[in-house]
Amino acid sequence: MTDQTLLIHRADCIATFDHADASMGRELRDASLLVRGHTIEWMGPAADVPPETLAGAGEVIDARGHLVVPGLVNTHHHMYQSLTRAIPGVQDAELFSWLRGLYPIWAGLTPEMVQVSTQVAMAELLLSGCTTSSDHLYIYPNGIRLEDAIEGAQHIGMRFVATRGSMSVGQSLGGLPPDRVVEKEDAILKDSQRLIETWHDASHGAMVQVALAPCSPFSVSPALMKASADLARSFKGLGVRLHTHLAENDHDIAYSREKFNMTPAQYAQELGWLGDDVWHAHCVKLDDEGISLFAASRTGVAHCPCSNMRLASGIAPIRRMVDAGVPVGLGVDGSASNDGAHMVNEARQALLLARVGRALSAPEIRDGRTFFGCDLGPAEMTARDALHIATRGGAAVLGRRDIGHLAVGMCADLALFDLRTLGFAGGAVHDPVASLLLCASPQAVWTVVNGRVVVREGQLASIDLGPLIERHNRLARRLAESARSA
């Protein structure tokens, strides 16, 4: 494929996000983009495309009426949870009771279920314009291996950061999960080393990378947290990253204070879990000290607005984090707590929730009068800010310099949206970039990953989606039924 070319020709707008400031990235009108092999070779005015390039391209996508954006980057997911979406009994639960209700069901997971649910979750992401995703697989019953997810990703064609999650502290030791779903720590570390040595690719354009991800303060020991960090950092120069959940809700804060006599951020600092090779999911309850610690160490955050609302966890202080210099990316979180994986919608929710968060902030007293946050204006986060977090921000959180924006030499990861559809009517004519989030959340018409078209004219091109959904639904029923009969 090294010499194969793909020409995205005459796009209404190419939003590059090629600047660290979201408001300053180039937005090219009536523009074209040439992909050679896996990377972007040229980008500029459509009128400047040489006739021989147009005639000799391996494939030409007529992008008139379309917006082109960098492929969106999902920094936090639990793909196996696609099997337990909207399941009765936990639809209205907060985090801890939600987990207690689902752990017994997830104990019945099989390797086939992990592979199929991974592909279903990735199909959703790809159809929403997402080209890179991490996944936090932290439960390994019945012979499941991380390879079950990796092989699913390779088949469907998504760029993948597979995290070797783990749980080692069950209820008998004061943890939240049942003892039957936790693992021995020496086995976790041994498998973690094997996976890094087998699968982690540190090269430009890597399609598979591995990170180590002990699940949470309430399901793993401090010793495992430290040992995992030491193991990841022993692979010097390979960029093996670290990931976990942190400060997700009030119960999470209370657990850390009771068990460790620290806030979650202080606990992370104590264990060596701050640094530019670490990203934490949620951080809804990260306090001012925590934000300062994260900013000083360049520790990343995966912001999951839909899940945080679904589980009533709260509103993460994302604007304060970004302003302080904390790297922030976007995450859909598990499909059982969202319950979808639509990255454009996730970015829209991040935009809207930041504005609600400002409106709900503490009142200010000025000149003897009381003003609430909403009086200060709605632009707590702009549409371009949210898209920047969903693209370039996510790439930074995952430690990737080869994705997240569009420029010559970058990986050819991009998504096209048809601005002529009903949802964009009356919006795209004014501002095609902002309308992607301010109007109804659309599906991508084309999604390109590493130079390969994986969504073509709104249809998944890499696998047959119909049989996959049927198989997935059979497995979802089987998983729930086995839990009820146990």
pLDDT-based confidence at residue 119 (cuts at 50, 70, 90): very high
Each residue's pLDDT tens digit, 419-470:
999 999 999 999 999 999 999 999 999 999 999 999 999 999 999 999 999 9
Write phi, then psi, for 465 (nearest 5 degrees): -75, -35
Distance from C-alpha of 291 to C-alpha of 264, rounded to nearest angstrom? 11
H or E element: which one contains 460? strand 459-460
Q: How far is CA 91 from CA 85, 159, 342, in A?
A: 9, 31, 19
Domain limits, the chain: 5-71+403-460, 72-394
Q: Is the pLDDT of residue 360 over 90?
A: no
- State the average pLDDT over residues 13-31: 94
Q: Is the pLDDT of residue 315 over 60?
A: yes
Please tell me the CATH code under which domain 5-71+403-460 is placed: 2.30.40.10
Please tell me the CATH code under which domain 72-394 is placed: 3.20.20.140
| Closest to 9 in 3D by CA, of 55, 50, 49 | 49
pTM, entire model = 0.95
Degrees, nearest 5: CA angle 279-107-161: 30
Query: Would you state the pLDDT for residue 371?
Result: 47
Query: Would you state the pLDDT for residue 355?
Result: 87
- State the average pLDDT over residues 78-87: 97
